[in-house]
Amino acid sequence: MTADVIDSLPRSDELLLEAAGDSLVVTLNRPHRANALTEPLMRDLRALWDAVSSTTGIRAVVLTGAGSAFCAGADAAMLSEPRTSIGADAAEELSFVPGPHLDVPVIVAVNGVCAGGGLHFVADADICIASERARFIDPHVTVGQVSGLEPLELMLRARRDTVVRMALLGRSEALDARTALEAGLVSEVVEPDELLAHALALGERIAAGSPEAIRITRATIRDFEADLLRRHLDAGWQAIQAHWPHPDANEGPTAFLEKRPPRWADMP
């Protein structure tokens, strides 16, 4: 891949792009906020994947995070305010993940905390590996939100009991990298300083195969998964939105930002 390929892609301060052999390395770059998702960042991601999909010379995409975190999910400040952009269905809401846009494999390298919406990248990955420092958390219920998408996606990747514990116990159930490996959430765990190099080595091994055979193989697998999930994800997305008017949906992120225990609506 040449520098011209990188130069042709949309730029963003919150997304770092690097060519490494036949792979495009994309780094979420909001380390001061643990690479948490905002509406502008999600728009930038959608624009990037659309551009990558029509770019030649890229054989794999490696996605990781800057700093000590991978992705802390939705920024609490975004959750505490009305959304300005809402997906018409689950696929549109999740269009910030790369998989559905691309014909090349996506390798996710989880370098640190992966929480909430960050789990979408794990579920979307064709191959997901983790650093020994990685942690996996689904904190939705802890901040008054419905976890209606991530558990469904992850059940195709990991043991049901692991996924359900994460969804119902919230922030108190954090999986370390080795537990995530045993549960099937990730396929490998490596030392922190080896993570990116190992992800790129996987990309080069992919590049040694037939591009068309890999494209068709990957599409066959992803079509199967999409058919299993589509109706259930749409129902989950509707359940999430239906919960937004409930007082807990605002109280959770507000309490988090104010660093105090939440006062749930049904508490005495």
- In total, how many domains does the chain have? 1
Domain membership of residue 178 (yes or no) is yes
* Closest to 105 (Cα-Cα) out of 228, 254, 209, 237: 209
Cβ atoms 195, 133 nearer than 8 A: no
Cα 234 to its chain centre, rounded Å, is 18
Task: Tell the burial category of 11 from Cβ atoms under 10 Å away from its Cβ (0-12, 13-18, 19+).
Answer: exposed
Per-residue pLDDT reduced to its tens digit, 119-168? 999 999 999 999 999 999 999 999 999 999 999 999 999 999 999 999 99
Residue 9 sits in a domain whose CATH number is 3.90.226.10
- Give the per-residue pLDDT at 268: 60
Tell me the per-residue pLDDT of 211-236, one tens digit each, with 9 for 90 and over: 999 999 999 999 999 999 999 999 99
Domain contains 264: no
pLDDT score of 78:
79
Say what the pLDDT of residue 2 is: 65
Q: For residue 29, which phi and psi values (nearest 5 degrees)?
A: -125, 65
pLDDT at position 76: 79
Say if 151 falls within a structural domain. Answer: yes
The domain of 201 spans 3-212
Where the chain has pLDDT below 50, the residues are: none
In a domain, 161, yes or no: yes
As a whole number of angstroms, the distance between CA 165 and CA 170 comes to 8
- Does 234 fall in a domain? no
Confidence (pLDDT) at 5: 84
Residue 153 lies in a domain: yes
What DSSP designation does 74 have? B
Write down the pTM of the prediction. 0.96
Q: Are 97 and 124 within 8 A, CB to CB?
A: yes
Find tokens 């954090």 and name the residue: 174
The CB-side HSE value for 157 (13 A sphere, CA atoms) comes to: 24
pLDDT score for 1: 67
